[in-house]
Structure 1
Amino acid sequence: MSEETRHEALSSFLRKKRAVISPQSAGFPIGVRRRTPGLRREEIAQLAGVSTTWYTWLEQGRDIKVSSAVLDSIASALRLTEDERTYVYNLALDVNAKLVQKKTVLTEISPSVKTILKALNYCPAVVTDRYCQIVGWNRAAAYVFLDFKEIPMEQRNLIRLLFTRKELKSLAVNWEHFVRGFLAIFRVYYGRYVEDEWYKRFIDNMSMLHPEFQSLWMQSEVNTAPDVLIEFRHSKAGKMEFNLTSLEVQGDADLRLSVYTPVPGTTTEGKLREFMH
Structure 2
Amino acid sequence: MTTVDLAAPATRTAPRPLADVVTMTRRNLLRAVRYPGLTMFLVAGPLVMLLLFVYVFGGAFGAGVAPGVEPGAEGRAAYLDYIAPTLLVLTVVGAGQSVAIGAAMDAAGGIMARFRTMAISPGSVLSGQVVGTVLQSLAAVALVLGAALAMGYRPAADAADWLALVGFLVLLGVALAWACVGMGLSARSVESASNTPMILLLLPFLGSGFVPVETMPTAVRWFAEHQPFTPIIDTTRGLLAGGPLDAAVTAQAVAWCVVIGVAGYAWSRSLFRRERRA
- Normalising by structure 2, what TM-score? 0.22
- Normalising by structure 1, what TM-score? 0.22
